[in-house]
Amino acid sequence: MHKKYLLLILGMILMMVLAACGENEKDDTTKKAEDEEVKSLNVDFEVPETVDPGDPVELKATVTYGDEKVTDAEEVVFEIWEKDKKDDSIKVESTNNQDGTYTAETTFDHDGEYEMYAHTTARALHTMPKKAIIVGDGKSHEEQEAENHEHDSGEHDHGTHAEGFSMHFNKLENVKIDQDVEMTVHLQMDEQALEQAAVRYEVWKEGEEKHEWVDAEEKKAGEYTANHSFGEQGTYHAIIHVENDEGLHEHEEYQIEVAK
């Protein structure tokens, strides 16, 4: 009889030990899964919300794996495109700053809304956070033309001006490649010289995406001049942008022919 009780007690002890081991193993597995779940690849992608055309822009990605800063990411590449033109995207390689941050610098040559990914690969994981940036007034060149100009084959194209405002651009003739050309515009408001305005020339060759911005200087009251040279033969367009502190914002487009 005593032998039976002894075997029963030993059996119960064995079952308790096995149950405890199973529970510990389950706890270890759960803890390991929780640790792995906490550790994920995260990228804090920083870009300014707005920028002016031609200004340098820093793109910055801070990469972490759990609480660990990733200083050895396999890849951090910025892909940039103008909205609705993803097929024309460009890729910019980043610089590893060895502190978990990866940076690059870029510029945007004309107004519009742009989107970008920060393609990031590290710890056998890949993520690609997305950001957007507004350049200038956020309108693409196509939108500006549709909204402000009735494009034709004439010499220039006038929009609707504020009451009392007038603009006269000195027509450029016999322009040669690489010739230093003086572009001059006369501005008036209510038949008086418009002084202390901010005047910029936006210049580009017909059929090309790249636009150049040239600031004008007021040499006489209401007379704004800028110098520019054209590197290739062909037809160029120039939009004269005029703004002042009183909220004025005007522009006109002109066509310039450049010969050899």
Residue 5 lies in a domain: no
Classify residue 238 by its DSSP letter.
E
Q: Are residues 120 and 195 in the same domain?
A: no
Q: Are residues 170 and 85 in the same domain?
A: no
Residue 7 lies in a domain: no
Residue whose C-alpha is closest to residue 106's, from 125, 81, 126: 81
Pairing mode of beta strands 165-169, 212-215: unpaired
pLDDT digit string, tens, across residues 127-175: 888 999 999 987 765 666 555 554 443 444 455 678 889 888 888 989 9
Q: Are residues 158 and 97 in the same domain?
A: no
Could you say which of 135, 162, 192 is where a domain stops? 135
Q: Are residues 129 and 73 in the same domain?
A: yes
Number of domains in the chain: 2
Residue 209 lies in a domain: yes
Q: Are residues 105 and 195 in the same domain?
A: no
Per the structure, the complete domain to which residue 45 belongs is given by 41-135
Alpha helices for 101-168 (secondary structure H): 141-148
Segments in the chain below pLDDT 70: 1-11, 17-38, 140-160
Could you say which of 135, 169, 201 is where a domain stops? 135
Alpha carbon 209 to chain centroid, angstroms: 16
Q: Are residues 158 and 117 in the same domain?
A: no
Per the DSSP assignment, residues forming a β-bridge with 187 are 167
Torsion of CA 54, 56, 58, 59, to 10 degrees: 30
What is the pLDDT at residue 128?
85
Handedness of CA 206, 208, 209, 213 (dihedral sign): negative
What is the pLDDT at residue 37?
55
Give the tokens for residue 33. Answer: 């899964």
Could you say which of 101, 135, 169 is where a domain stops? 135
Q: How many other C-beta atoms are found inside a 10 Å radius of the C-beta of residue 216?
A: 21
What is the pLDDT at residue 208?
86
pLDDT digit string, tens, across residues 20-46: 666 655 555 555 555 555 678 999 999
pTM over 0.75: no
CATH of the domain at 46: 2.60.40.730
Give the tokens for residue 132. Answer: 């957007």
Rounded Cα distance, 94 and 18, in Å: 55
